[in-house]
A = this chain, B = another copy of it.
Amino acid sequence: MAKQDRAIRTRRTILEAAAAVFDERGYEAATITEILSRAEVTKGALYFHFASKEDLAHAVIDAQLLDAPRLPEPPPASRMQRLVDLGLVFAHRMRDDPLLRGSVRLTLDQGPSGIDRGGPFRGWTRLHARVLAEGKERGEVLPHVVPADTAELIVGAYAGINTMSQAVSGRADLERRAISLYEHIMPSIAVPSVLARLDLAPGRGARALAEAERLRAAGPPPASAPVAVG
């Protein structure tokens, strides 16, 4: 393994260990010592990649969007299906992706003022706004919808069902809450013919992700814009 590959792998190991410790303890109570012990790396290796606990926290927060999987294109057939897939795939990944879980806790906890946790909110909002704008161009979206405003509302509301799911069920019911969110808001966003064809059934997140992986394995990367933060 080349030296550079090893460095990338070590960085990832540290990042995942830090995310797990942040997820369990929160930012304030997390210590570099516990992260080192979890990652099984030397202090020198950690400080080669990250300057401080704050620097580590920012890297974990950023991973939430950089790690977002590329969703199939096409299918899904409608941009509105892609819109709800963003949240349903997220709910599926929250079940067992430690980096995502740590990032989400750092983003949702109010935390010390030194940590900028607005980045994921802005990134997810841009992404949702773009999908809504594309949907609008294709006639999938009701005329009164302002993509930037509706994007902010979806991202904010989603953050809340995430918090409530954590508080009352330890995250076990996040998918159910996400489905309920889309059932409540999509009638105000999508035109009826698109609304009637939305797949909001349980397991949709897992199916969309499997479909994305199948497409990626099958052929060349899609030419049109993948899911990424604009």
Bound-state CA distance A61–B118 (Å) is 25
CB-CB under 8 A from A103, the residues of chain B are none
Question: How many protomers of this protein does the assembly include?
Answer: 2
Judge whether A167 and B118 touch: CB under 8 Å. yes
Residues of A within 8 A of B (CB): 25-26, 28-29, 105, 107-112, 117-118, 121-122, 149-150, 152-153, 155-168, 177, 180-181, 183-185, 187-189
Cross-interface CB contact of A187 among B117, B164, B180, B187, cutoff 8 Å: B187
Contact B121 A180 (CB under 8 A): no
Q: In the complex the two chains form, is B26's CB within 8 Å of A167's CB? A: no
Determine the distance from Cα of A14 to Cα of B118 in the docked complex, in whole angstroms: 32
The residue from B156, B177, B188 contacting A183, defined by CB atoms under 8 A apart: B188
- Closest chain B CB from A137 CB (angstroms): 21
